[in-house]
Amino acid sequence: MTSAEHTRGLFVWHWKWAFRTMHATLQIALLALVPVCMLFAGSAVLFSHAKTAASFLQLIGAACLVIVVLTHITEALHLFPWMNWGLAHSVGHYLNFWSSVLGLTLFPVGYLFHTLTNL
């Protein structure tokens, strides 16, 4: 086997591996999109009926969780490459990180306040 054939074989193997990995990432992200969109829809309905601070926090938290899932989908599809998805200290990394922190903080806080005010 020549060096060129070996390099070509490694290149083909790398793309097959990357396709399988991104394919799994895309499947997981699309699967996570269903419950997150249900959370967002429920929060939007709650906010439309009762415009309180608690329902607003829930809505913003659910929107942040939708952003988290959408960032994973765009990473898997290699959209917006200038955001350097998957690299530490990149715009995509910080968008994903802060959206998840805000989503996992605001949604439960809003839910807790909504529950405590409606006892």
Contacts of residue 91, Cβ cutoff 8 Å, sequence gap at least 6: 82, 83, 84
Q: Which residues of 81-92 are buried (b: 16+ CB within 10 A; e: fewer)?
A: eebebeeeeeeb
Provide the token pair at 21: 């990995």
pLDDT one digit per residue (tens) for the chain, 119 residues: 555 555 555 455 555 555 566 678 888 999 999 999 999 999 999 999 999 999 999 999 999 999 999 999 998 888 888 888 878 888 989 999 999 999 999 999 999 999 999 88
Q: What is the pLDDT of residues 22-37, one digit of tens each?
A: 678 888 999 999 999 9
